[in-house]
Amino acid sequence: MTILEALKGINSYPIPQRTLEEVAERRNLELNAQATIEVMRKAGYNLAYADLLTWLSFAPQITQGGQSYSFTDEQRLQLRNRASELYEEYEEEAPKARFGYKGSRL
């Protein structure tokens, strides 16, 4: 199994390839490398995992190919909590979600 396959296996939600590539780049991971036990125990992999859990916790509900993907509020909270645990374990600050209007008029 590759790192890409391992990260995609976090959840059945279809995470865009561009998102996976961005997370891997930020965490200095090679997506086509083998996902060995040693790799999966390293900070880079676990922080990428946490990044994707955070991303999933804010992912929209979608329907793709007749299949619907959604999370309950409870599931979203569980995803964020698990990500927070990983960020804390590796002494990394959790990313902040950015919402709201940016501009001069509403």
Total number of domains in the chain = 1
Q: Is residue 64 part of a domain?
A: yes
Q: Is residue 17 part of a domain?
A: yes
Q: Is residue 103 part of a domain?
A: no
Range of the domain at 59: 3-89
Q: Is residue 105 part of a domain?
A: no
Residue 95: the pLDDT is: 74
Q: Is residue 52 part of a domain?
A: yes
Mean pLDDT per 10-residue segment, the chain (106 residues): 97 96 97 97 97 96 92 97 96 71 54
Q: Is residue 21 part of a domain?
A: yes
Where do runs of H (alpha helix) occur along the chain? 3-8, 17-26, 37-41, 43-57, 73-89
**Helix, strand, coil percentages for the chain (3-state, nearest 5):** 50, 10, 40
The answer to whether 97 touches 59, Cβ cutoff 8 Å, is: no
The predicted model scores a pTM of 0.87
| Among candidate residues 102, 99, 53, the one with its CA nearest the CA of residue 78 | 53
Residue 64: the pLDDT is: 87
* Distance (Å, whole) CA 3 – CA 32: 6
Residue 105: the pLDDT is: 56
